[in-house]
């Protein structure tokens, strides 16, 4: 028999931009999703699940990272040579679903969805090609009351997750206002590349300040590394006009509206529409009790996807979060959304108004973990029933089932029982609170021995030598087999939380 060719063995490695998610993070994620779902359900949204793959033409071309292969998506051909792509968000599949089932749906149609999405983008620190989103959308409602409700939903969701009022902000803008700015500058509406350069410059206001934005609106800007970003090539007069627009925004929503009234002329129809929508949203939010400590108007909110047509919003965390070395960490936007009245029309040819909000689950979870790292719950491992006599596996399994029947996480040690120390080592690695031991002596007495591993670890740290350990046998007690469940529950209760 020929030897196996070692060179033919695959190397165990992850594709770039992807990651494995282990038990502790998954448990935290599931707990977070439950709380988000409760808020979405309370607002009347219904669940919907769409497939990971859609036909490529159904997804459309909206991603900004179009210099990547397949314009930012992962694609393949099926047996009919039709192109399919992994969804890059949960909104485009919703548009396809609504168009396909429109006559059967209640109007407005309110749905929420959660699941992974994929983008063929350049990976980087904290930026992965697969990540999870949790969306809520209202389709068929033209009123900006639906947009205001999305902002309320965002605020209520963050507070349900334990983020205090004042530690986050919902920032609202309107794409019609941005279009109104372009109109006021007298720019060619077909010059999409120039418009994108202007919007990208505005999006960097928080990071670069007004001076940096002015450079990007003009000839361009060289960063600290020496890399040069070409600008939008606006004139000095046009740059000054954009500067006035950017400085019109204020933490008090009413002040922003008053200042923008002086910016948009009466014949700037699209700008006036956007301004009127801001007025309505402000009135609705104020009436519902959502003041400036939670929701503000902000001209830097642009949103990268090209399908937005009206109000757009982002959720930022404002509290100071420190990493393990005490350095401040900025997580940026953890949720965003907006109005997209033209997305369903791609299929039907008829305008179907829609608005939605999406939470970036992974980023928000990372922020919550960093914020509450001193309070992070430690997942309690299962109670381990050890094996002292291999021929009595069935008896040990009976003990396991008694614990499980009492809703206690438990498992039988299924490795090689020859070395008892290995069983305890396994229990430690599993985070087990205690182990159950029954050798021939215990069985003869109708007893089991319970070893409290949590208390045992504390005692071991205080015991000086092996002889003292054997004499004291810390955190170890023998109980009647009939009392197994009750005694294990006592141990679990002692270490709860």
Same domain, 314 and 425: no
258 located within any domain: no
What pLDDT band is residue 116 in, cutting at 50, 70 and 90? Answer: very high
* Mean pLDDT taken over the chain: 88
**Where does the pLDDT of residue 93 fall: very low under 50, low under 70, confident under 90, or very high at 90 and above?**
very high
Residue 76 and residue 49 share a domain: yes
Q: Which of 73-82, 299-308, 399-408, 427-436 has the lowest mean pLDDT?
A: 299-308
d(CA 253, CA 311): 14
pLDDT at 105: 95
Which CATH number goes with the domain that contains 402?
Answer: 3.40.50.800
Q: Calculate mean pLDDT across residues 237-266.
A: 92
Does the residue 149 lie in any domain?
A: yes
Question: Do 123 and 129 touch, CB atoms closer than 8 A?
Answer: yes
* One domain, residues 35 and 119: yes
Looking at the fold, whether 83 and 125 belong to one and the same domain comes out as yes
Same domain, 402 and 366: no
Q: Is residue 155 part of a domain?
A: yes
Confidence band of 466 (pLDDT split at 50, 70, 90):
low
pTM of structure: 0.84
Contacts of 223 (CB under 8 A, 6+ apart): 229
Q: Are residues 462 and 347 in the same domain?
A: no
Is residue 268 in some structural domain?
no
Shared-domain flag, residues 440 and 351: no
467 HSE (CA, 13 A, CB side) = 0
Do 429 and 343 share a structural domain? no
Q: Which domain holds residue 419?
A: 383-495
Question: Worst-scoring range by mean pLDDT, 1-5, 171-175, 261-265, 289-293?
Answer: 1-5
43 and 152 belong to one structural domain: yes
Q: What is the average pLDDT across 24-34?
A: 92
pLDDT at 69 over 60: no
- Same domain flag for 435 and 483: yes
pLDDT band at 397 (very low <50, low <70, confident <90, very high): very high
Choose the final residue of a domain: 375, 405, 421. Answer: 375
Q: At what angle do helices 192-203 and 175-184 cross, to 10 degrees?
A: 120
- Is residue 12 assigned to a domain? no
The total number of structural domains that make up the chain: 2
Q: Is the pLDDT of residue 286 over 70?
A: yes
109 located within any domain: yes
Residue labelled with tokens 């960093």: 370
Q: Is residue 438 a part of any domain in this protein?
A: yes
pLDDT of residue 470: 52
Instruction: Identify whether residues 338 and 469 lie together within a single domain.
Output: no
Q: HEC string of the chain?
A: CCCCCHHHCCCCCCCCCCCCCCHHHHHHHHHHHHHHHHHHHHCCCEECCCCCEEEHHHHCCCCCCCCCHHHHCCEEECCCCCEEEECCCCHHHHHHHHHHHHHHCCCCEEEEEEEEEECCCCCECCECCEEEEEEEEEECCCCCHHHHHHHHHHHHHHHHCCCCCCCEEEEEEEHHHHHHHHHHCCCCCCCHHHHHHHHHHHHCHHHHHHHHHHHHHCCEEECCCCCEEECCCCCHHHHHHHHHHHCCCCCCHHHHHHHHHCCCCCCCHHHHHHHHHHHHHHHHHHHHCCCCCCEEECCCCCCCCCCCCCEEEEEEECCCEECCCCCEECCCEEEEEEECCCCCHHHHCCCCCEEEEEEEHHHHHHHHHHHCHHHCCCCCCCEEECCCCHHHHHHHHHHHHHHHHCCCCEEECCCCCCCHHHHHHHHHHCCCCEEEECCHHHHHHCEEEEEEHHHHHHHHHHCCCHHHHHHHCCCEEEEEHHHHHHHHHHHHHHHCC
Instruction: Select from 359, 375, 391 the last residue of a domain.
Output: 375
Whether the pLDDT of residue 372 is over 90: the answer is no
Domain end call among 324, 357, 375: 375
Q: Tell me, what's the pLDDT at 457?
A: 64
pLDDT digits (tens, 9 = 90+) for 32-45: 999 999 999 999 99
Confidence band, pLDDT 50/70/90 cuts, at residue 6: low
Q: Is there a domain that residue 229 lies in?
A: no
Q: Are residues 401 and 431 in the same domain?
A: yes
């Amino acid at each position: 028999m020929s030897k196996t060719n070692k060179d033919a063995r695959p190397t165990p490695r992850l594709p770039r931009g992807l990651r494995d998610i282990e038990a502790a993070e998954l448990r935290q994620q599931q707990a977070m999703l439950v709380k988000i779902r409760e808020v979405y359900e309370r607002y009347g949204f219904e669940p919907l699940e769409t497939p990971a793959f859609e036909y490529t033409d159904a997804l459309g071309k909206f991603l900004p990272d179009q210099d990547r292969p397949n314009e930012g998506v992962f694609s393949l051909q099926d047996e009919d040579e039709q192109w399919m792509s992994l969804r890059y968000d949960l909104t485009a599949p919703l548009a396809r679903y609504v168009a396909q089932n429109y006559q059967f749906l209640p109007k407005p149609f309110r749905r929420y969805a959660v699941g992974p999405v994929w983008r063929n983008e350049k990976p980087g620190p904290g930026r992965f090609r697969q990540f999870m989103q949790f969306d809520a959308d209202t389709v068929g409602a033209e009123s900006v009351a639906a947009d205001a409700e999305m902002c309320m939903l965002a605020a209520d969701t963050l507070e349900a997750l334990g983020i205090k009022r004042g530690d986050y902000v919902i920032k609202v803008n309107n794409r019609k206002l941005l279009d109104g700015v372009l109109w006021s500058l007298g720019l060619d509406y077909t010059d999409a590349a120039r418009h994108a350069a202007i919007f990208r410059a505005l999006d960097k206001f928080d990071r670069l300040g007004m001076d940096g934005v002015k450079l990007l609106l003009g000839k361009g800007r060289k960063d600290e590394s020496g890399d040069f970003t070409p600008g939008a090539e606006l004139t000095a007069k046009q740059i000054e006009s954009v500067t006035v627009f950017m400085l019109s925004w204020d933490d008090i929503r009413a002040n922003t509206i008053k200042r923008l009234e002086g910016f948009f002329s009466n014949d700037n129809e699209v700008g006036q529409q956007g301004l009127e929508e801001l007025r309505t949203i402000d009135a609705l939010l104020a009436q519902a009790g959502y003041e400036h400590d939670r929701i503000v108007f902000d001209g830097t909110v642009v949103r990268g996807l090209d399908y937005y047509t009206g109000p757009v919003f982002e959720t930022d965390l404002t509290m100071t979060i420190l990493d393990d070395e005490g350095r401040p960490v900025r997580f940026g936007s953890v949720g965003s959304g907006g109005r997209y009245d033209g997305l369903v029309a791609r299929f039907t040819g008829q305008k179907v108004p829609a608005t939605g909000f999406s939470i970036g689950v992974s980023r928000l979870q990372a922020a919550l973990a960093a914020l509450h790292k001193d309070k992070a719950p430690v997942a309690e491992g299962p109670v381990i029933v050890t094996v002292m006599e291999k021929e009595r596996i069935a008896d040990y399994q009976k003990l396991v089932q008694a614990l499980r029947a009492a809703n206690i996480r438990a498992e039988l040690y299924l490795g090689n029982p020859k070395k008892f120390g290995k069983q305890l080592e396994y229990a430690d690695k599993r985070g087990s609170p205690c182990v159950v031991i029954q050798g021939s002596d215990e069985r003869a007495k109708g007893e089991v021995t319970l070893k409290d591993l949590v208390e045992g670890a504390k005692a071991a740290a205080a015991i000086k030598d092996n002889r003292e350990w054997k004499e004291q046998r810390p955190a170890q007690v023998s109980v009647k087999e009939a009392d197994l469940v009750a005694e294990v529950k006592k141990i679990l209760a002692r270490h709860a939380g």
